[in-house]
Amino acid sequence: MRHTLAARVYEVARETPLQQAALLSARLGNHVLLKREDLQEVFSFKLRGAYNKSAALTPEQRARGVIAASAGNHAQGVALAAARLGVRALIVMPLTAPRLKVEAVQRIGGAAVDVVLAGDSYSDAQAAAASLQGERDLVWVHPFDDLDVIAGQAPVGLEILRQCRAPDAVFVPVGGGGLRAGLASCIKTIAPTTRVIGVQAADSDAMARSLEYGARIALDEVGLFADGTAVKQVGALTFALCQRHVDAMLRVDGDALCAAIRDVYQETRCVPEPAGALALAGLKQYAAAHDLRQATLVAVVSGANMNFERLRFVAERAEVGEQREALFAVTIPEERGSFRRFCAALGRHSITEFNYRIGDARHAHIFVGVQTSGHDERSALAAAFRDQGFAVLDLGDDELAKLHLRHMVGGRSPLSHDERLYRFDFPERPGALPDFLARLHPDWNVSLFHYRNHGADHGRILVGIQVPAMERALLQRFLDALGYPYHDESDHPAYRLLLRA
């Protein structure tokens, strides 16, 4: 607490508002408040810790210059501190960092800052920065595992308590744990009955796993959608503080994040980045799981450095994340009146997508997206189709359908014999797709290919490869050596129904 009270954050930071979320409060039956750290000068809370650390440097350290690794928001904080304090800074960012953040760092830091791009994640950039630090004798400004950085983030907790006394729970996004550690230390000291709950992306849950295991663990891979919290290993200091003050850790998926981004937009007309919406996604999940009513719940909106190119993906998945869009593959008989019966089963629902493809002389296949109010209505709609005698696949929770099939229904071919179907994920960076294509085996024919770019997220590829049965073992060795995470979708029922001859 002494370090927190001495922090110099207000030389650059502002006390951000704690804004009532009226729409969410009414919908969830609780008093929901948004801590608007996205309103800071660099659109993120990260300038607090970065500036506090930089301001604490000795004259000798300032003369040497500083180095930092960051996915983007900490980099902007370090750039701002360097420009204000007259310190040279070298900042290493991953190749997957959103272009918006890279350009912002260069603009904010000006002549005081040099930017180097290296690696696919924060942890990769950190390794590159560690090497450069040794070569150039620069002072390390860590994004989370540093006492001055943690103390700089901690006043967020003090502000919440000044603005709301003792809320029932505060939800905080967690990457390396700097904000979570500092905020929780303050809140638990002053208002010990307030629960402080960390929220992580399900594919970047290093803190949650470490707390469950009882020691810091390192993830092999991290998801890149919530790039601001994509950390393979949490800090030693932050882990110890979270062990002491943690009440709970939650994991949320990408669809829930997209839904939370939309919620923040509807309340504020501002668009948070995925990591910035983590806390609200966790708040909604927690309130539903514990059937909370009339509780005062705070979500820290930690940043708004959103790549514009991502908005298409966010809007598309937000409907699914709120269960407001149901996806079905329906098989109807090729006979008089069957299509009318299908339409009758749909009723007055709004259609978001409709694809029809004749199957054979007896059947036709329909891929349909329908606006619904939730899981119960989705189940009732599936039952209505079955009542008409139609075979139905509910694809609302199916990644293959959501990422690929909805964009390519109707591509059946009698030439696609011996086809095996694989779905690949890889970090999106310049040259990533050509690199993937170059690695494909030259002796097998590619019979299907679908690729989608989601702005700095993973690239998603669906590939059909024609491989004779006698070469399946060779195919498996090739896939294992390829180096990309993959999913065998060859027996997926929707693929067999809609795409396979």
Residues annotated as catalytic (active site), given as ranges: 46, 302
Strands 195-201 and 169-173: parallel
Q: Give me the torsion for CA of 174, 45, 106, 81, rounded to 10°.
A: -120
Which strands make up the sheet holding 296-301, listed edge to edge? 18-20, 31-36, 296-301, 169-173, 195-201, 248-252
CA distance 328 to 326: 7
Strands 31-36 and 18-20: antiparallel
Helix axes 375-387, 338-346, angle to 10 degrees: 160
| H/E stretch holding 260 | helix 254-268
Here the tokens at position 296 are 């005062």
CA distance 48 to 220: 30
CA distance 141 to 430: 27
Tokens 């990309």 belong to residue: 484
CA distance 261 to 274: 7
Residue 45, classed as helix, strand or coil, is coil
For residues 59-82, b (16+ Cβ closer than 10 Å) or e, as one string? eeebeebbbbbbbbbbbbbbbbbb
Asked whether the beta carbons of 366 and 342 are under 8 A apart, the reply is yes
Helix axes 254-268, 278-289, angle to 10 degrees: 100
CA distance 8 to 15: 13
For residues 226-249, b (16+ Cβ closer than 10 Å) or e, as one string? bbbbbbbbbbebbbebbeebbeeb
